[in-house]
Chain A
Amino acid sequence: MKKTIAATLLSLLLGTSAHAACSFQNTVPLKSLTAAFDAWKAVTATMGECGNIQSELDQDFRLKQPAAFAANPALYQLGGVSNGTLVPLLNGGTLRPLDTLVAKYGQSLSPNQLIRIDGKIMAVAMDVNAQHLMYRTDILSDLGIAVPTTWDEVLAAAEKIKASGKMATPIGATTKPGFDLGLEFINMFLGYGGHFANPDNTPAFNGEAGLKTLAMLKKLTAYMDPEYLVSESTFVQKQFQQGKIALSNLWATRAAALDNPAESTVVGKIGLAAAPAAIAGGKPATTLWWDGVVIAKNTTDDQADAAFRVAMEGLSERTVKAAPGAAVWLIKGYTPGKYATGAIASANGAAPPYPSSVVGGLVGSVAGDNVADFLTGKKSAEATLAAMEAAYLTKAKDQGLVK
């Protein structure tokens, strides 16, 4: 009994102090499902100050969200998405258009945060993210290497570092089969100016750009830790932190962690630059991502209203103040710091946005499933592209995308 009273008192105390910073007190019980990286931690923490919201942070949100949003009533009113995870939700028709809510409560938003699909606002973006070049400033200057601007220069730099004996495997990359490897393929493929599909949705990636992409990925793996096929973002981040790699195309959201003295041995030795181009003088071979919030369609108007207001609190200047380094925020009041330079340089170099289309999703999926066969030497480049093409057609026919 004593414990219950203490717990109630504690929750009351916490409850009242939690509302302190929020501009209104939320009375509608809400749930949100978002990814779990630092930017979302910051946003959901601010949202929590409004009370009555239960935030679930899960890196596998992509797999849970479509079904949870399709339920009626939706299991979560508020969702965190990126341009890569928006397609399944749009295909399912489970998102609520936000035009009226934006007009009512969205005064603080800037126009470039509004994600319009077919004229309607379907999501509100909060940050942009991209994989861009991170490098060890000390090693590059010791060996007199200029910051690489193309992937060929990255290879040359890696060779020099390897030859100097400073590092055996100077390059890191997110090459774990599945999403990560699929994205590596797409980034490089778009860098070589490739096209995914013809207007009738039949595949067009089995060609010169595809072959060049595979060849470049293979060349890069020669300078990577031999266990590169289990490497995802956290793996690369740790490789950097432990001083094992000097060059990598890594997510902007990971940059701050490399300067965190609690876990990194290379604090202050990391430089950020635009993603290298595949062709000299070409666009950076990377894709631009955004993260943002959506509201489920299967919610009452009251819930949607409350959810949007809470989300606006999460996307307010207070979040930026609390965690300025967690992301390249699009929120007003953000001044781009050191950790934004790489992403901004990539964007200014006209890196394309990640294709949030059914075709783009299919190419990412089949590349993620098949490219490893080429890297391990199981299949030739031609056979790998042919297998990707066959897998693409099977999936596209399954879905009725190609007759």
Chain B
Amino acid sequence: MKTRTFLGFVAPSLVLMTVFIALPLVLVAVGSLYSTNPVYETIEEQSCTPGFLGQTCTTEKRSRAKLDADSHPVIESHYVGSAAYTGLLQPAEVARTFSAAGNGISDLLALDFYAALRFTLTFALFTLPLVIGLGLIVALAVNSVLKSIRGPLIFATLLPFIVTPVIGALSIRWLFIGDGILTAALRAIFHTDTAMFAQGWTIELLMLSYRVWHTTPFAFVVFYAGLQTIDRDTIESAIVDGASRMERLRAVIIPHLMPLIVFVALIHLMDSYRVFEEVIGFSSQAYRISLQFLTFNFLTPDQTGNRAITRASASSMLTLVGIIVLLVPLIIRTWRSQRRRG
């Protein structure tokens, strides 16, 4: 292909990627270095609140946002450098944790960012093998049932993937919270006082299982499509050579599906590193938070109506760095295999 034609083809997507991906990223990176805030003034102010018989009025000195002539708040912006990053990563606190005075890991995990990082990594890395493994098993199973029932079976298997993540998480939560029917069932079976939302690990278990249940169909459908492209001859010669089912799986099917497994792993890691819906759906923020939830929390106006945009930007940049680090091995692998072929 001529360079000109090639450029003509990719130019639109390059432009779109610059406008919708690169530019926002640069803006967020710059935003994490500047702090924008309203200017406050201290005034003596009389304020009255209703009582039952009369009014309680108090005069006191208090801070309020300064308004300009058009009564818009006066906003100022200044460069803060890496302050937002230091505030998140708390290097001084980390050093103290691992010094003689600290308690090591348990103190480290009391810091929001590291607690979120710990959960996010566990979430991404634990669900990955389960999703791939289950996806493969389901794909193999569906592939070996009668052709006539495969259609409805595939449809039913895909259902969990269609459910909106937050709604799905909420429904599972309602099954377990308080006297939810499944918790009640667990109590009846094991005769223990089970409470799934009273400690962190049970909630974490629910969140992990939910994500596996939710994304396995995606892995399944990709692998199932891959199974359709396996050369029947290779399988049959393997059978003739006396290879068992397991040997065929290991020597023929898995190598054939490998590029798809890498693909599913890439997508799954990217998705699960941004875990967010489960935290909201299972309202786990007292016990477990994720990096994406941390950003969300910074962006939610607090009770003074202020959003911590600077820290939210810094936390998004750190999430981005995390995803890149996590994906590097897989990307290198793909790149190498492409080069071998090319």
Binding site for B on A (CB under 8 A): 62-63, 66, 83-84, 87-93, 111-119, 125, 128, 176-179, 182, 199, 201, 225-230, 235, 288, 290, 297, 330, 344, 347-348, 353, 356-362, 364-365, 369, 372-373, 375-376, 378-379, 383, 394-395, 398-401
In angstroms, Cα B37 to Cα A290, docked, is: 29
Q: Which one of A118, A119, A365, A400 lies within 8 Å of B303 (CB-CB)?
A: A365
- By a CB distance below 8 angstroms, the chain B residues around A394 are 87, 311
A sample of 28 inter-chain contacts (CB < 8 A) reads: A84-B303, A87-B305, A88-B305, A88-B306, A91-B73, A93-B67, A112-B51, A115-B47, A116-B48, A116-B57, A125-B49, A128-B52, A177-B285, A179-B303, A199-B61, A201-B63, A227-B196, A228-B198, A230-B177, A230-B286, A357-B62, A358-B40, A358-B64, A361-B305, A376-B287, A394-B311, A395-B308, A400-B37
Contact with A along B161-187 (1 / 0, CB 8 A): 000000000000000011000000000
B95 in the interface (beta carbon within 8 A): no
The 4 closest A-B CB pairs, nearest first, are A88-B305, A226-B198, A361-B303, A361-B304
Contact B303 A229 (CB under 8 A): no
Q: Which of B38-52 contact A (CB under 8 A)?
A: 38-40, 43, 45-52
B54 in the interface (beta carbon within 8 A): yes
The A/B interface has a contact count, at CB < 8 Å, of 164
In angstroms, Cα B146 to Cα A28, docked, is: 66
Decide yes or no: A290 and B305 within 8 Å by CB, A93-B72, A111-B55 being known contacts: no
Binding site for A on B (CB under 8 A): 35, 37-40, 43, 45-57, 61-65, 67, 71-73, 76, 87, 109-110, 177-178, 195-200, 283, 285-287, 297, 300-306, 308, 310-311
Q: Which one of A93, A226, A400 lies within 8 Å of B39 (CB-CB)?
A: A400
Q: Which one of B197, B200, B304 lies within 8 Å of A376 (CB-CB)?
A: B200
- By a CB distance below 8 angstroms, the chain A residues around B87 are 394
Minimum CB–CB distance from B236 to chain A (whole Å) comes to 57
Q: Please name the residue on chain A nearest to B58 by beta carbon.
A: A353
Decide yes or no: A399 and B304 within 8 Å by CB, A91-B38, A93-B65, A227-B198 being known contacts: yes
Minimum CB–CB distance from A236 to chain B (whole Å) comes to 12
Q: Please name the residue on chain B nearest to A113 by beta carbon.
A: B50
Contact A116 B37 (CB under 8 A): no
In angstroms, Cα B47 to Cα A90, docked, is: 13
- By a CB distance below 8 angstroms, the chain A residues around B286 are 176-177, 229-230, 372, 375-376
Minimum CB–CB distance from A364 to chain B (whole Å) comes to 5
Minimum CB–CB distance from B143 to chain A (whole Å) comes to 42
Contact B197 A230 (CB under 8 A): yes
Q: Please name the residue on chain A nearest to B308 by beta carbon.
A: A398
Minimum CB–CB distance from A5 to chain B (whole Å) comes to 38
